[in-house]
Amino acid sequence: MNPSPVSLSPGPSPRKPWYRLLYVQVLIAVAVGILLGNFFPRVGESLKPLGDGFVKLTRMIIAPIVFCTVVHGVASMGSLGCLGRVGLRALLYFEVVSTIALAVGLVVVNLVQPGANFQSGDVTAHVEQARKHVEKATALETGSFLLDIIPNSLVGAFASGELLQVLLVSILSAFALAGMGERGQPILRGIERAQEFFFALLGLVVRLAPLGALGAMAFTVGKFGLGSLGNLMALMFCLYITSALFVLLVLGGIARWCGFSILRYLRFISDELILTLGTSSSETALPGLMEKSRRLGCQPATVGLVIPTGYSFNMDGTNIYLCMGAVFLAQATNTPMTWGQQLTLLCVAMLTSKGASGVTGSGFVTLAATLQAVPGIPLESIALLMGVDRFMSECRAVTNMIGNGLATVVISRWEGEVTAAQVRQGLEGKGV
């Protein structure tokens, strides 16, 4: 099974000059943007088109990426019916834990409110228009809302850019392909190739991230002052702390229930953690994670099913980020969101997060996709996150990787493939 399309991270090659690393380029661009915005505010404000242009480029490929990832993920899972019980248990585990991650992110961002009192001038210009969209959405009857999800034509969903319409077409297409069995495999392989193409296209767009970060940060500081960075730093630290608590408490509780310590497990996969942190992509740690799962006693078939599938269906870090990022932008733009709308956001994020893991910068794309499906929050406000998204990407990737590795051990324990004592011995390096 192909777990993910193409990694967009620059790679850890030591021969690559430091100045060509995308990570370093973004850091330099952020620093230059802060200096320009602080000392030359007018120049900083004039660089706004750089950030806006990068946002438009990402919007351009949202629909095809969502279609390919959802169709390939769901249709591939449908073809795994022979594995029956393991597949169903894995899906059940993924959805339960992913929902908990979304809920945790939603609760924390409402309690801490890192986007409150954001000193904004330009983004508030969109608030009145956003409130009109909110009023229009709440005025729609249920029947009209459901009818609007259905596009006028199959390609109409992609032309309009309505994410819910794209999701509907994607899910129906996935079920149709799964029902075709072997006859649908050539089409599925074609979609897989298209998926690789669009992620390669996204890779080209991501290369422009330094320019986008420069423009967005220079505009943010030039327009709103250095005080606005406090909110962004608060969001970043809030994400890191929330993710750490999720790993230690939620995933730690699951590990304890299975008879081993989450801290020992983290030490066991420390090499993979460092690799993921350095590349900001959980896909780079995939081979080592699978090998170490087998060393713990997990059966090869279970490892081969759970870990790759988890890379599309189990993104705990991305789920936390999506809810926190969306509500942060609502707070920053003074956009009112009821708890009902936030629950809708949670449900939409459960779908848009699929296929986000393993690709640097894709969390930003899925956040834009999520905002498109939630009326009210100005999509332009996503540029506010450009300067710190790279830092949050590392947190997402590490949390995703930990969650998928742990899921494999949990399913193996659930299947009776390995005992708690064997897992503990494996974590100590004593074999199984």
Q: Distance (Å, rounded) from C-alpha 349 to C-alpha 120?
A: 26
Could you tell me the two tokens for 213?
């970060």
Tokens 């409130």 belong to 131
Looking at per-residue confidence, does 386 or 80 come out higher? Answer: 386
Confidence of residue 262 (pLDDT cuts 50, 70, 90): very high
| 270 lies in some domain | yes
> Looking at the domain assignment, is residue 5 inside a domain?
no
Considering only 62-76, 299-313, 345-359, 390-404, which range has the smallest mean pLDDT? 345-359
- Take residue 72 and report the two structure tokens written for it: 């390939």
- Beta-carbon contacts of 385 under 8 Å, excluding residues fewer than 6 positions away, are 232, 235, 325, 328, 329, 364, 367, 392
Read off the pLDDT of residues 398-417 as tens digits, 9 standing for 90 and up. Answer: 898 899 999 999 998 888 88
Q: How many domains does the structure of the chain reveal?
A: 1
Element (H, E) at 137: helix 127-139
Cα separation, 178 vs 89, whole angstroms: 19
Mean of pLDDT values over 416-428:
87
**Confidence bin at 14 (pLDDT 50/70/90):** low
Evaluate if residue 295 carries a pLDDT over 60: yes
Q: What angle do CA 369, 63, 338 make, to 5 degrees?
A: 25
Q: What is the pLDDT of residue 119?
A: 56
Is residue 243 in some structural domain? Answer: yes
pLDDT surpassing 70 at residue 251: yes
Sign of CA dihedral 79, 80, 84, 85: negative
- Whole domain around residue 357: which residue ranges? 18-427
Residue 2 lies in a domain: no
Is residue 316 situated within a structural domain?
A: yes
DSSP conformational letter for 150: S
Residue 224 pLDDT exceeds 70:
no
- Please check whether residue 373 lies inside any domain of the structure: yes
Question: What's the CATH number where 34 sits?
Answer: 1.10.3860
> Is the backbone of residue 259 left (phi > 0), alpha (psi -120 to 50) or beta?
left
Tokens of 12: 């850890």
Instruction: Answer whether residue 46 is part of any domain.
Output: yes
The tens digit of pLDDT for each residue in 184-219 reads 888 988 988 888 888 788 778 777 878 887 887 788
Q: Is 317 exposed, middle or buried (0-12, 13-18, 19+ CB in 10 A)?
A: buried
- Of 114-123, 200-209, 314-323, 377-386, the range with the lowest mean pLDDT is 114-123
**Mean pLDDT for the stretch of residues 152-173:** 76
- Mean of the per-residue pLDDT values for the chain? 76
pLDDT greater at residue 246 or residue 336: 246
